[in-house]
Amino acid sequence: MAEADPQIDVGSTTSTKPRRFGRLALMASVPLVLAAGATAYYIANDHYVSTDNAYVQQDKVSISAEVGGRIIDVAVHENDVVNEGDLLFRIDPEPYRIAIEQADAAIAAAQVRVSALETEFQTTGIDIDSAREDVAFYEKEYQRQSTLMQAGFTTRARLQAAEHALSNARSRVASAQAGATKARAALATGSAAPGVNPAIKAGQAQRDQAMLNLSRTEVRAPVSGIVSQADRLQPGQMMVQGLPGVTIVASSKSW
């Protein structure tokens, strides 16, 4: 009895090969996909640094008053958000208003003094003219008495009196000229402030300083940020010039 030939399932063999190739391709592509993803992530994030121990830093600006005085008003509280230029606190302005009035009084006194000097200078000019007229008169009188003395028609006492009067007239001219020089010097102005009397200039500088100090009684925020340590500001407290009174955490710059 003859044996039957074994039958080969061709369809089964051909279908197994594509599945095997698919698994191999899938296995090979997974590492490639992972590598490509890692490369893309690295390229996209190569300028970032990551850490689990980071802190955000901000500038802290200590605010102090440029003038001293008693605090009369506090406009902020702890953790308030302020903008640049907002009022923080106010110092009693009355002493600085009084300083302005004192400067105004000094300017007025200097102006009165200048007016008096101008009048005095004008008066010395009149005195000089008058004294010169006296000198001319007594020179003629002295010459007349000298002529009479030589002719024997006057006395030596009259000649000496005319000589003395002439000497006094010349002294008055010299005195009036010295007074005019003194008055002119008092009215003179320096090269630093031509045309302005030094006393008036000093009073104006005093007033400018008083005005500046008055403007500084209102302390305002130099930067925008969050108010910190505001509990140090209390109405009635004396603020010392240059001593920090409050802090602002600047919000415009963080790192």
Q: Does residue 47 belong to any structural domain of this protein?
A: no
CATH of the domain at 71: 2.40.50.100
What is the DSSP code (8-state) at residue 59?
A: E
Q: Give how many domains the chain has, as a whole number.
A: 2
210 and 141 co-located in one domain? yes
Spatial strand order of the sheet with 87-91 comes to 218-220, 87-91, 69-74, 238-239
Instruction: Write out the chain's pLDDT in tens, 255 residues.
Output: 444 454 545 454 455 556 666 666 666 666 666 767 667 666 666 555 666 666 666 778 889 899 999 999 999 999 999 999 999 999 999 999 999 999 999 999 989 988 888 888 788 888 888 888 888 888 888 888 888 888 888 788 888 888 888 888 888 888 888 888 887 777 777 666 677 788 888 999 999 999 999 999 999 999 999 999 888 889 999 999 888 889 998 876 666
237 and 154 co-located in one domain? no
Residue range of the domain that includes 234? 56-92+217-255
139 and 201 co-located in one domain? yes
Closest-CA residue to 200 (of 130, 115, 140): 115
Owner of token pair 């009355």: 94
177 and 200 co-located in one domain? yes
pLDDT at 1: 44
pLDDT at 74: 93
pLDDT at 38: 67
Q: Does residue 142 belong to any structural domain of this protein?
A: yes
CA end-to-end distance (rounded Å), the chain: 96
What distance in Å separates the CA atoms of residue 79 and residue 58, rounded to the nearest whole number?
Answer: 15
Q: Does residue 248 belong to any structural domain of this protein?
A: yes
126 and 168 co-located in one domain? yes
What distance in Å separates the CA atoms of residue 251 and residue 80, rounded to the nearest whole number?
Answer: 12
242 and 255 co-located in one domain? yes
Residue 18 pairs with which residues in a beta bridge?
A: none
196 and 143 co-located in one domain? yes
Q: Does residue 25 belong to any structural domain of this protein?
A: no
161 and 211 co-located in one domain? yes
99 and 131 co-located in one domain? yes
175 and 151 co-located in one domain? yes
